[in-house]
């Protein structure tokens, strides 16, 4: 009788371990697509970086009670740049100042699904505010620019904040500059954000 209890406890423990391992390794399809998109975007961004550019990915920043994760931060002598990446598939509708956009996606069976997604332009504006304030509180006054990169090039908004080509990324990072940073400021910003 005791052997059956011991075997039962062992089987239960084995199932718990399997369930925990599955839970830790399982990612929802949207999360997988987002991570895949971030890797793809990093490769795109790396193609336009110049020698002195510093690329930091998945940077967590907090200012007062506001926290955010920045997909990509590029630091160079021209300034600090955030590039928020979205891997939204389907058709997007919305305006620059809408809180959310609507994403329409057609399934293999021909059904159209509608989902509300956060407007990445508003998201990156918030990120710019938080990062700029964080740096200012750390003694670094620098202009921070923010951009959105939609990997499927399906933005319903077309303006200077939405990057739509390699040339657009290069122009954002190397063409326009609000500030000229010296090497020590670049190093200090990198140190703070790593």
Residue 166: predicted pLDDT? 93
What would you report as the CA-atom Rg of the chain, rounded to the nearest whole angstrom? Answer: 22
Q: Residue 111 is encoded by which pair of tokens?
A: 């059904």
Over residues 12-34, the pLDDT tens digits come to 666 666 666 666 555 455 555 55
User: How far apart are alpha carbons 110 and 100 in whole angstroms?
Assistant: 25
Q: Is 139 left (phi over 0), alpha (psi -120 to 50) or beta?
A: left
**Low pLDDT (below 50) residues in the chain:** 27
Total count of domains within the chain? 1
User: How far apart are alpha carbons 180 and 186 in whole angstroms?
Assistant: 10
Q: Residue 63 is encoded by which pair of tokens?
A: 């200012």
- Domain of residue 41 covers 2-193
Q: Which residue has the tokens 């750390």?
A: 138
What residues form DSSP beta bridges with 140? Answer: none
pTM: 0.80
Residue 6: predicted pLDDT? 65
Residue 20: predicted pLDDT? 60
């Amino acid at each position: 009788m005791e052997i059956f209890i011991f075997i039962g406890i062992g089987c239960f423990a084995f199932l718990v371990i399997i369930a925990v391992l599955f839970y830790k390794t399982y990612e929802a399809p949207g999360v997988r697509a987002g991570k895949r998109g971030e890797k793809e975007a990093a490769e795109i961004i790396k193609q336009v970086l110049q020698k002195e550019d510093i690329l930091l990915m998945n940077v967590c920043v907090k200012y007062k009670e506001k926290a955010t994760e920045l997909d990509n931060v590029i630091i160079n002598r021209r300034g600090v740049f955030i590039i928020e990446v979205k891997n939204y598939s389907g058709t997007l509708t919305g305006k620059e100042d809408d809180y959310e956009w609507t994403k329409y996606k057609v399934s293999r069976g021909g059904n159209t699904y509608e989902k509300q997604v956060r407007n990445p332009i508003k998201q990156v504006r918030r990120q710019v505010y938080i990062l700029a304030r964080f740096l200012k509180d750390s003694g670094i006054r620098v202009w921070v620019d923010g951009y959105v990169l939609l990997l499927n090039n399906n933005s319903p908004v077309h303006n200077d904040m939405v990057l739509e080509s390699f040339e657009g990324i290069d122009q954002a990072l190397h063409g326009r500059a609000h500030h000229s940073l010296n090497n020590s400021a670049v190093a200090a910003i990198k140190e703070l954000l790593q």
